[in-house]
């Protein structure tokens, strides 16, 4: 703790980015809410623990509408006028309710389930290419975990011509920023690029999600504006692949670290659905929520968070709270991990969670079936971790088979 009473997260755990769990557990043992300094030097308030996190997610005094109540520049290296930010994740009700309603119909369980054969086909094509690599070695992220969900979301939206390498760079700059200039450039480049795709869809619509969003009009005559179309495309493209990339990467890492559980899953794929939920709970793809803004002095479990403060909710810690999950530090593919909040909680619960789960189940099964000798090709300590506290994962995951 510093002289001003702020807890330095890196003081609790010098290796915080690679393994934040001990620091979170130490904070949780003292109280559910703390004033902290993040590894990149930002001061904010952090909520830990399962019940405290669920309550914070549903507290209307913790806002996502930085446009109306704060300064976007406080949390992002861009301006509030950016079309890339005109999406539902940056809104509170009733604006959030309106935007979510206009796109939610495209993510019905039936539509997601119908994608399974195509997801399987993409997975097999990617594994075909990976397994042809000389030396029987590859980076699992670049070869499989990234292109699988990126291909799926691009096809779902109807933008197969997307420059995926460029978009991957922009996405990284936005969700795990470690270069302010690159982040600003990403927010400039994405809307410019997507505006052209949207105009092409206006002129020649197809049977895809982007065409639906462009032409969708609800019962009251409401439809997405031009900026809202750009913003929703940005959100769906980024959230539609980043979560699954790290679900696959973190899930495979967990299996490597627990060979008994890997053998158990290989022997019985009936455990697969629960195993994916355990992967989400044990080391989920999203470490903390997107930044919340305290609209007033907010008392959270006896701690007063001052008005105007930035608040993060540590989902990673909530899902390792022993008050909710027995032996939470153990990875058990047979565990009933339902109730975890890896996809958030409340009105901002991830709209694409069913798609991420479907992709995760297919990816893990096809990978294990087709690579019976799959093993790590680098020590865990040598892996390059995604910076920041939003996404949890590694940049590369070397494997051999």
Query: Which of 125, 110, 65 lies closest to 91 in space, CA to CA?
Result: 65
- Whether residue 1 is contained in a domain is answered as no
Q: How much is the pLDDT for 102? A: 85
| Number of domain units in the chain | 1
- Whether residue 186 is contained in a domain is answered as yes
Report whether 312 contacts 319 (CB < 8 A).
no
Q: How far apart are CA 348 and CA 344, in angstroms?
A: 7
- Whether residue 276 is contained in a domain is answered as yes
Q: How much is the pLDDT for 80? A: 86
- Whether residue 353 is contained in a domain is answered as yes
Q: How much is the pLDDT for 162? A: 76
- Whether residue 285 is contained in a domain is answered as yes
Mean pLDDT, the chain cut into blocks of 10 residues (401 residues total) = 78 93 97 96 97 98 95 90 93 94 84 95 98 94 96 87 82 86 92 88 87 74 87 91 96 98 98 98 97 97 95 98 98 97 96 95 98 95 93 97 96
Q: How much is the pLDDT for 219? A: 57
| Residue 310 structural domain | 7-400
- Whether residue 39 is contained in a domain is answered as yes
- Whether residue 2 is contained in a domain is answered as no
Q: How far is CA 5 from the centre of its chain?
A: 31
Predicted TM-score (pTM) of the model is 0.94
Q: How much is the pLDDT for 214? A: 86
Q: What is the CATH number of the domain that holds 359?
A: 1.10.630.10
- Whether residue 220 is contained in a domain is answered as yes
How crowded is residue 400: how many other Cβ atoms within 10 Å of its Cβ? Answer: 14
Q: How far is CA 268 from the centre of its chain?
A: 28
């Amino acid at each position: 703790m510093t002289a001003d009473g702020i807890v330095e997260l890196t003081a609790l755990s010098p290796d915080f980015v690679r393994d934040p769990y001990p620091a979170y557990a130490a904070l949780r043992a003292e109280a559910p809410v703390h004033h902290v300094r993040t590894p990149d030097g930002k001061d904010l308030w952090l909520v830990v623990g399962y019940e405290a996190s669920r309550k914070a997610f549903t507290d209307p005094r913790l806002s996502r509408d930085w446009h109306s109540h704060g300064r976007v520049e406080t949390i992002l290296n861009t301006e509030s006028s950016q079309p890339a930010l005109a999406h539902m994740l940056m809104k509170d009700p009733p604006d959030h309710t309106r935007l979510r309603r206009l796109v939610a119909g495209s993510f019905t369980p039936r539509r997601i389930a119908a994608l399974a054969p195509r997801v399987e086909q993409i997975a097999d094509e990617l594994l075909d290419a990976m397994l042809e690599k000389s030396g029987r070695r590859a980076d699992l992220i670049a070869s499989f975990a990234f292109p699988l969900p990126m291909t799926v979301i691009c096809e779902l939206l109807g933008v197969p011509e997307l420059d995926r390498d460029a978009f991957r760079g922009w996405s990284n700059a936005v969700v795990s920023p470690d270069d302010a200039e690159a982040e600003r450039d990403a927010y400039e480049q994405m809307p410019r690029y997507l505006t052209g795709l949207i105009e092409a869809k206006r002129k020649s619509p197809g049977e895809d999600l982007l065409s639906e969003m462009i032409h969708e009009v609800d019962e009251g005559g409401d439809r997405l504006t031009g900026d809202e179309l750009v913003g929703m495309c940005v959100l769906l493209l980024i959230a539609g692949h980043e979560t699954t990339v790290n679900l696959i990467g973190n899930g495979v890492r967990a299996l490597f670290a627990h060979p008994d559980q890997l053998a158990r899953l290989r022997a019985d794929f009936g455990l697969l659905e629960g195993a994916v939920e355990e992967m989400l709970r044990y080391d989920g793809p999203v470490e903390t929520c997107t930044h919340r803004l305290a609209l007033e002095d907010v008392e959270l479990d006896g701690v007063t968070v001052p008005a105007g403060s930035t608040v993060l909710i540590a989902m990673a810690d909530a899902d390792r709270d022993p008050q909710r999950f027995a032996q939470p530090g153990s990875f058990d593919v047979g565990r009933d991990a339902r109730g975890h909040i890896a996809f958030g909680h409340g009105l901002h619960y991830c709209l694409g969670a069913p798609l991420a789960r479907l992709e995760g189940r297919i990816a893990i099964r096809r990978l294990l079936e087709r690579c019976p000798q799959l093993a790590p090709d680098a020590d865990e300590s040598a892996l390059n971790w995604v910076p920041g506290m939003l996404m949890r994962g590694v940049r590369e995951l070397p494997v051999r088979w």
